[in-house]
Amino acid sequence: PPYSVGYFIGSLASASINRQLAGALVKLAPAELEMREIPIRDLPLYSYDYDDDYPEVARSFKQAIADVDAVLFVTPEYNRSIPGALKNAIDWASRPYGENAFTGKPSAVIGGSIGAIGTAVAQQNLRSVLSFCNSPQMNAPEAYIQITPGLIADDGMITNEGTETFLRDWMGDFLTFITRVLTVVPQR
């Protein structure tokens, strides 16, 4: 495929509804996008004490970001923000100073919650973080997904036709956005 997309799942929970959502998005992605997860689970808690000598796990994490054309964040909302594990991963990726892995890397954010707010507040927080990390973000359409029981089947299929169409179109819009960013602005 023309573009690779690394996706981060903000939740570490084994039954994560956001992991289910990510699985559905992989199925709905246009053929032009090659989707691969960039795991965040094994990263230690970041401190700048590591900056002089990043551990192997953090080096390979940053390399995984360098290796993809774009990044996608699929995240829950924990206490009106993103989970600490995801923030920790972003902090690792952003350092050492001058080696921020997100610079110029197109991104999109999406998330699912049980409640109707659909991770809206967490996504706004994440957008601030990504702005500081100099990642060009797809501003619209936004996607706040309420994940009701049965919405996503075990095989990753979306059981509601309107939601399925919305998510397929959203992934198509992300492809358009990635194409626009990477063809207009040379990557560095």
Q: Whose Cβ is closer to ligand FNR: residue 128's or residue 183's?
A: 128
Binding flag, residue 13, ligand FNR (CB under 6 A) = yes
Residue 187: name the closest of 33, 95, 70 by CA. 70
| Site membership for ligand FNR, residue 115 (CB under 6 A) | yes
Q: Which range binds ligand FNR by CB under 6 A, 27-35, 55-63, 107-115, 161-169?
A: 107-115
Minimum distance from residue 90 beta carbon to ligand FNR (Å): 17
| Least Cβ distance, residue 39 to ligand FNR (angstroms) | 15
Q: Interface with ligand FNR by CB under 6 A: which range of 42-50, 55-63, 76-84, 171-179?
A: 76-84
Binding site for ligand FNR (CB under 6 A): 11, 13, 16-18, 76-80, 113-115, 117
